[in-house]
Every structure is written in C-alpha cells, then in structure tokens.
Amino acid sequence: MRRFITTISIILFIITGFSASAFAGEKLLVAVAANFILPSEELTKIFQDRTGIVTEVTYTSTGKLYGQIVNGAPYDVFLSADEKRPDLLEKQGLSDKPFVYATGQVVVWTAEQTLCGATDWQSVVKNPRVLKIAIANTESAPYGTASMIALQRVGLWNALSEKYVFPQTIAQAFQYAETKSADVGFCAYSSALSDKGKKGCFYTVPEAPTIVQSACILKRTENRSAAEKYVEFIRSHEAQKIKEKYGYR
C-alpha cells in the first residue's frame, strides 16, 4: 500500500511539474519569426521574470508558422517577419488587427575576411571565389523573399543561380555563412550585430525592401489577458530600446 501511494505521488508530482501552469497560473505560447530570435529571447526573459507568465516561444520561418496557425496550431501570439501573413490571418478571421512591432534589414554577411572591404554587396556576390550563397527559402521566409527581390532588381538573380543554397530559415542562412558552409549569406541585420556576427563583416543591401514585421494576437487564444500583456510589453518604449540594440527599428 505504501509503495502504491509513493508511486502515485511521484507520478502526480511529475505530471504537475511539467505543466507549469499548475503552479505559475498563466502561460503563453508565442510564434516568432526566425530572424527575431535574439531580441525575442531577451524580451521574453524580461517579460517572464516581471509578470511570472510562463512564455514558450517557437522560432522558425514565417511561412511555416503561418501554415501551422492556419491548420490550427495553438499559438497565442504571432510575431511575423512580414505584414502580409498577419493581414491574411485577420482577413480569415483568425487574428485581431495586426500591428507593426519592428522593421528589419537584409544584409550580405560573410565570415571570410578576404571578402571584407569590397565596394558593395554586388561585387561580393559576383566574386568568382564565392561559390555558395545562402538565401533563405524565398517562399516561406520574408527575408529570403526580400533578398530575391534585391537580386532581381540589380539583374543578378538568374546569373548567380548556380551559387544559391536555400536553407529553410533566415537564421539558418546565417548559420551556413558563419560555419563557412556558404561563402556568403543574405542574413538579418541583427545577425550581423550578434557576437558571432561581429567576427565577420556585412554589407547593406539598399535594393532590398525594408522588412516590416507585424504581429497579432490570435483569436483562438485561451490566454487573452496574458497575450495582451505580452503585446503591450512588446510595443513598449523599453522593448523598443532593446530591439534597437539588435538592429531593429
């Protein structure tokens, strides 16, 4: 009998231990576009410490997240890397009105020191010593789309097609470039500003459209008050300062 009670208690303890909501009360599930990992981690930590709301974040490409949400994934808040998808969600009645939470930039970044000091990004990608260029999946990653647009605008998109490598997310693009698996990568500006990013060099890409990133609360959320607190924090002046640190405006 004693054994039985002990076992049951242990099992209950484990089960409740894993569902943090049993202890912490509110919780939140946030979907965040891959480029925004670094600022998001800092912001989420502050938010969690301050409010006690356990916040779990999933990072992957905007397109993937959108697909998941449309198919019923239980996120409470969605931080996209574009405006298009939150707008689509609103139109489909799946979210509240979106708002812009950050604007980002595409840059060309490389870990190869010999490629630093060129005149502009175009001469870098055209360089015959550059064999592999990482571009995030142009369909599901807005930064990838923007990179493609920039290349199209300067008439290089087709010419360089032999060199492209297509990681699934913009964060992966940086990873490829950082490990020198790709010679250069079209990355988020915030990656270039990171610790690892500082070890290489970057070039601005004025031909790429500014990435306007908007977010929204999803209508199916069961933690509306927690979601609203989160959104309020994301839009706060304090959060703005943090975003700027990571290269967002």
CB of 96 to another protein, least distance (A): 22
Residue 85 interacting with another protein (CB under 8 A): no
Residue 67 interacting with another protein (CB under 8 A): yes
Terminal-residue alpha carbon distance, the chain: 63
| 3-state per-residue secondary structure call for 73-137 | CCCCEEECCCCHHHHHHHHCCCECCCEEEEEECEEEEECCHHHCCCCCHHHHHHCCCCCCEECCC
CB of 236 to another protein, least distance (A): 33
Q: 165's torsion region: left (phi>0), alpha (psi -120 to 50) or beta?
A: beta
Q: Which stretch binds another protein (CB under 8 A): 102-110, 136-144, 198-206, 222-230?
A: 136-144
By rule CB under 8 A, what string of x and - marks binding of each residue 92-121 to another protein? ------------------------------
Among 182, 218, 226, 239, interactor with another protein by CB under 8 A: 182
What Å distances lie between residue 209 and 31, 59, 165, 185, CA to CA?
23, 23, 21, 17
Among 139, 222, 232, 244, interactor with another protein by CB under 8 A: 139
CB of 194 to another protein, least distance (A): 20
Residue 167 interacting with another protein (CB under 8 A): yes
- From the number of C-beta atoms within 10 Å of its C-beta (0-12, 13-18, 19+), residue 168 rates as middle
Which residues here bind another protein, judged by CB under 8 A?
Answer: 61, 63-64, 66-67, 70, 131-132, 134, 137, 139-140, 164-168, 176, 179-182
